[in-house]
Structure 1
């Protein structure tokens, strides 16, 4: 390792070590981040041996990787295509659709514009506390706030995608959990009541602390890298890019992306987005070299080089979802 690379590599090693010391590493969630960020742009098909090799430095061993991939296949994120004694794992059409929808928010240069509507998920039937908690947790990880035990709210969610996600995440094993759920797209213009709704529905202090922690983790690494992408080794760049997008994606899952006029002054989410954009661009070239070397299909062929990754974070804001006529659907 050259002296020029040492400072950046040291901060990266510290971040990787911190990830490995978490009390509970969710291998499936990390694999979703890798597929969405690195595999989907190259066709969405990967031999599991390549995935095992990529994740080992992050403390995800072969057994954990195989178990997590098997579960993702059961949840219909991935499907298996055998090739002799090996097999490729591919995104299912539903998995690809969900990745593409998430990517519009993850790699947007600015947050999604608000169309002035609130999306509501309403419990209109009986549901005991044990059945309610998995639903509440699943909606929380899609950015929903709650304004009472029976009403969940979001400013821009695609309600059809939300219902499909609830099924994919295992709630279909208990179909009664979805029977009393009503999805409503309601027009509600800006008013003094919007601010009250936000304060009731979301703990913005907690989310702000999470964004501040993200900045505290990654700003020193960006400072160490400066503007020189060659101050970091290719594998370290891939590992850091993976953790960066994984942590950023999980923050966005919790964030309803409220419009600026409904956020506190100096909201740290904007700083976190700018940091993610700058660091991702520094890491892109060396991390792609690492992927060129190690990503393989089951037949041994390399995955094609992706196009257009430089445009990530430089495009327009994630588009506001089309606002249909007020309607309701049940599942």
Structure 2
């Protein structure tokens, strides 16, 4: 098969798997805007979204909806508008970033995090919201009223319960198997609690889409193309990885395609990051000459950037 040029690869990707504009704006805020202070003028945002085929009208609709959803806040300065990450949303951006850019090295210490609710103690709307958020955080429903995870993030769990107004309404505890009492094999529990087939397929699709770019990573991409590819890379990886329940490596199938997908994302991101940053800074400084360079945390992504 003929090796595509970077221009051809971008055109093919946007035609075959176009990202939704609202989700794409979220990716750009998390990957490109947050490291530069978390605020961007609308004109700069329009410039950053233009190569993806997102026009002015569609962008305004997307940021307006994200503001309504509690992710962004609009700021006015005479006739100009800027958008910032809402302070209350920062912890969620930071948790997502830890998952996206950190190595998949969650190891199991034998502990389970369990959440238990008594039958009618929680009203139906809150129960539905809790179920949705817990599944998003990778928890499995073990039985009616019981959710569990072998590597639960206590900080993320606490923040989620506070945000939903469910603090103090569930029993939250840690547990481990009793070695002197025989039980079912653990892989059976994992297999019943988590259907990993879609996550595996998602990681494999990501690998198939982005592996051809390895041949181009040292070719000196123009800044705008590097930014587009970096954004599509994180957008596609985030879409799969945020549905990964992040089980400890000891409980995953071997080989686990998520590890290969992470190494691919890491290799490509590190190769094109510098050129992509040139485009981000140039776009932001066309509207704000004092827009800051990326912060120190940015350079810790994927184990360290040049």
If the length of structure 1 is used for normalisation, what is the TM-score?
0.77
Q: How does 1:232-311 map to 2 (within 5 A)?
A: 232-296=221-285, 300-308=288-296, 309-311=298-300
Choose 250-259 or 148-157, whichever is displaced more.
148-157
Choose 138-147 or 81-90, whichever is displaced more.
138-147
Contact 1:248–1:276 under 8 Å retained in 2: yes
Q: Deviations over 1:293-327 (max 9, x none)?
A: 112486x3352111444432126xxxxxxxxxxxx
Which residue of the partner structure matches residue 228 of structure 1?
A: 218
Structure 1 residues 70 and 185: CA distance shift in structure 2, 3 A: farther
How far did residue 186 of structure 1 move?
Answer: 1.4
SS at structure 1 position matched to 2:138: coil
Which residue of the partner structure matches residue 95 of structure 1?
A: 89
Which residue of the partner structure matches residue 210 of structure 2?
A: 218
Structure 1 residues 158 and 260: CA distance shift in structure 2, 3 A: closer
Q: Deviations over 1:94-147 (max 9, x none)?
A: 222222222222111343344433233444344899986665444333222222
| Unpaired segments ≥5 residues, structure 1 | 316-331
For the pair 1:46 / 2:40, whether they are aligned, the reply is yes
Higher relative contact order (CA 8 A, sep 6+): 1
How far did residue 53 of structure 1 move?
Answer: 2.1
| Unpaired segments ≥5 residues, structure 2 | none
Q: State the alpha-carbon separation in 2 of the partners of residues 279 and 217 from structure 1.
A: 12
For the pair 1:188 / 2:188, whether they are aligned, the reply is no
How far did residue 281 of structure 1 move?
Answer: 0.9
Which residue of the partner structure matches residue 155 of structure 1?
A: 150
Contact 1:41–1:307 under 8 Å retained in 2: yes
Q: State the alpha-carbon separation in 1 of the partners of residues 124 and 16 from structure 2.
A: 35
What is the CA RMSD across the aligned residues, in angstroms?
3.0
Q: State the alpha-carbon separation in 1 of the partners of residues 147 and 56 from structure 2.
A: 39
Structure 1 residues 303 and 179: CA distance shift in structure 2, 3 A: closer
